[in-house]
Amino acid sequence: MKRSYSKYSAKDDLLWLFLRPWIFIPRVLYILLTFIFLFLRILFQGNSKNKNVQKNLSKYLFDVITDLGPCFIKLGQALSTRPDLVRQDWLTELTKLQDNLPAFDHKIALKIIEEELGSPANELFEEFPDIPIASASLGQVYKAKINNSYLAVKVQRPNLNFLIRRDVVILRFLGTFLSPFLPLNIGVGIGEIIDEFGKALFDEIDYQKEAENALRFANLFKENPNIFIPKLEKQFSSKRVITTSWIDGVKLRDRALLEENNLIPASFVKTCVISGLQQLFEFGYFHADPHPGNMFALKGGNADCGNLAYVDFGMMDTITNSDRLTLIKAIVHIINEEFFLLAEDFQKLGFLTKEQDLQKLVEPLKEVLGGSFDAEVGNFNLKNVTDKFSKLMYDYPFRVPSRFALIIRAVVSQEGLALRLDPEFRILKIAYPYIAKKLLTDNSKEILDILLEVVFDKKGQLQIEKVESLLNILFRDSENINSDLIPVANAGLKLFVSKKGSEVRKNFLLSLIKNEKLEFTDAKKLLALIRDTFSPLNIAKSAVQNIISTV
């Protein structure tokens, strides 16, 4: 039976290309020579102070990536979100990779629409323009009109199946061959990571799958007033054409553009990051391509949380419940500076082998992540952690499990986007309070088990300092006190008196018994901590803030 070429298969696709040396050999040579010339030009001109030289070099970089095709454009898009890695004049040019690429022939787009939807575009829509409004790596978008409403019609580039299959196979071949010489040791799994990239790309060019993704994503955020997902128009969608409602918003490209439109950049950073954390830690289903071309700032919202629209749901992924909970534990262990337990988390996630002596990693992990929320929080971002981890990954057998490739890509892209809008942004300032609030308000059994690990030690004794650390992290700025105090107080009270809270009550009572006597010292400290945190004055402030926010 003939194999379907709508899915990626590393083994079959490698054989397919090796049996076609007239395709494989010239393409490999072309890619290698292209990167050699690019490397030499950057080597000799990269440090030049001449603005014209840098402008020409950035244009050359854009042209090289564009010329190499969709796979390399996708990699370039990831770079375009990192102002801390790429110099600003290059970044401006690379940003065009998001939705400002050369368009393909309009006649071909019209032919694809007719083949996919069964009728010409001018019969399907009241108005259909002659040129696209945006052109990205895998398709181009037209602003069409029907029934006095505007729609976004995305048409896929021709011949993508062949181009992606060929280049993913070559990237895997070159990546595996060159992995020992790469500046960052990511372990033996680079081929597996490229396989994940290949699978994601083939999913992304199936617009029927994207339509399903959009509906699922919209359902997850249906109760969130700050997140907007465009409506799918099923009758105008197929495997190579997808149509949604039009989004009138401002792309999250730079701070000045938002301010020109009287929008507050920091408010969209918070909405963006919180929604990303929800995707990873609550839904287990996330947008793996959150670059500025796929996110729009909308009017409305408030100074704390702006209204945000997501588009383009081709590259999505899931995270298992086990991995999701282990990541939450890992963040709690970073908060509490429990580096042996953190090493165990890495081992469970597959970043370390089962044979690794975890005790040897305690000091190195402390050096990399110690004090991440306090003294060094001003310097804490993913680039700095990556720089520190690069040495650690050479000295110890860390490797990146392939299933984390898209998660890392999404988090890195999102932090890069946030840094563009707010250069002072630090992801932990939002991530830590989010995790703290989740532990204190989410009454699911899994989260409750993690909370019990924080509140009580292995001997069943209260860990007052850790409870205090959680509350300090959550309420260390006045905005969080105002918005989160009452929800946390309500959730804590409900948990303590509920059936689910029986384990909490039992552990609390057992913690009072020491040396066969009742000892209330820790209980008094806990009550004092709760009294100070949830004082009548703070509760009143929270109530007023909640009333103001709803007006």
Residue whose tokens read 């030049």: 48
Q: Which amino acid is at 544?
A: V
Contacts 24+ apart (CB under 8 A), 137-142: 137/70, 137/73, 137/74, 137/77, 137/97, 137/101, 138/70, 138/204, 138/205, 138/314, 140/103, 140/104, 140/109, 141/99, 142/109
Q: Tell which residue, 382, 321, 385, 387, has the closest CA to residue 348.
A: 321
Give the DSSP H or E segment for 498: none
Give the angle subtended at the CA of 422 by the CAs of 416 and 427, to the nearest 5°: 60
| Residue 133 CB contacts under 8 Å (≥ 6 apart), including other chains | 141, 142, 143
What CA–CA distance (Å, rounded) separates 12 from 20?
13
Q: Tell which residue, 316, 303, 310, has the closest CA to residue 227.
A: 310
Crossing angle for the helix pair 70-79 and 160-178, to the nearest 10 degrees: 60
What CA–CA distance (Å, rounded) separates 207 from 205?
6
The answer to whether the beta carbons of residues 98 and 311 sit under 8 Å apart is: no
Give the DSSP H or E segment for 158: none
User: What's the distance, CA 350 to chain centroid?
Assistant: 20
Under DSSP, the state recorded for 242 is E
Tell me whether residue 289 is one of the annotated catalytic residues: yes
Q: Which of 195, 289, 317, 484 is catalytic?
A: 289
Give the DSSP H or E segment for 154: strand 149-156
What CA–CA distance (Å, rounded) separates 244 from 237?
9
For residue 388, what are its two tokens? 């520190």
C-alpha pair distances (Å), 307 with each of 250, 303, 414: 11, 10, 16
Residue whose tokens read 């396989």: 195
| Residue 531 CB contacts under 8 Å (≥ 6 apart), including other chains | none
Q: Which amino acid is at 2?
A: K
How many separate helices (H) and strands (E) can be counted in the chain?
Answer: 24, 12
One DSSP character per residue, 120-187 reads -HHHH-SB--SS-SEE-SSEEEEEEEETTEEEEEEEEPTTHHHHHHHHHHHHHHHHHHHGGGSSS---
The 3-class secondary structure across 37-92, one letter per residue, is HHHHHHHHHCCCCCHHHHHHHHHHHHHHHHHHCHHHHHHHHHHCCCCCCCCHHHHH
For residue 435, what are its two tokens? 């995790």
Q: Tell which residue, 211, 204, 242, has the closest CA to residue 70.
A: 204
Strand 227-228 to 307-310 pairing: parallel
Q: Which amino acid is at 520?
A: F
Catalytically annotated residues: 289
